[in-house]
Amino acid sequence: MNISHIEHIGIAVNSLDEAIPYYENMLGLKCYAIEEVADQKVKTAFFMVGETKLELLESTSPDGPVGKFLEKKGQGVHHLAFAVDNVNDSLNELGEKGVQLIDKTSRKGAEGLNIGFLHPKASMGVLTEICGKE
């Protein structure tokens, strides 16, 4: 498994309409894409920061992962995503090493990337995603 960089940092927000102007007007970043990921029950907004993206996450349903997170913890950093060469190969490798997986096989996430999540209990409390084109 080869992690090349931090692909994105996911940040849970109550409202994209409220959060985007902060990142654009205060921090001077540019939102380059807004996309709904129905499978994950979120609407996402992306900003490029060097080689890494910020992914703002607005929940589209209270029973989705971000809806539950917002209710329990409020707005804030939700997950860290590492870029890997091949998501399924990496999930297999991590599973064989005994890492607790949320996803045993990859699914489709925002920007057409393959994604898979590791359980936060396995990563010292950090919900961790691996993602890639393969």
* Chain residues in the site for ligand CMX (CB under 6 A): 10, 37, 40, 42, 44, 55, 57, 65-66, 68-69, 72, 78-79, 102, 109-110, 117, 120, 125, 127
Q: Which CB sits closer to ligand CMX, 42 or 83?
A: 42
Q: Which CB sits closer to ligand CMX, 3 or 38?
A: 38
CA-to-CA separations, 103 to 42, 79, 129, in angstroms, rounded: 17, 15, 10
The nearest distance, CB 3 to ligand CMX, in angstroms, is 17
Give the residue closest to ligand CMX by C-beta. 65
Q: How buried is 121 (Cβ within 10 angstroms: 0-12 exposed, 13-18 middle, 19+ buried)?
A: exposed
Q: Is 17 helix (H, G, I), strand (E, B) or coil?
A: helix
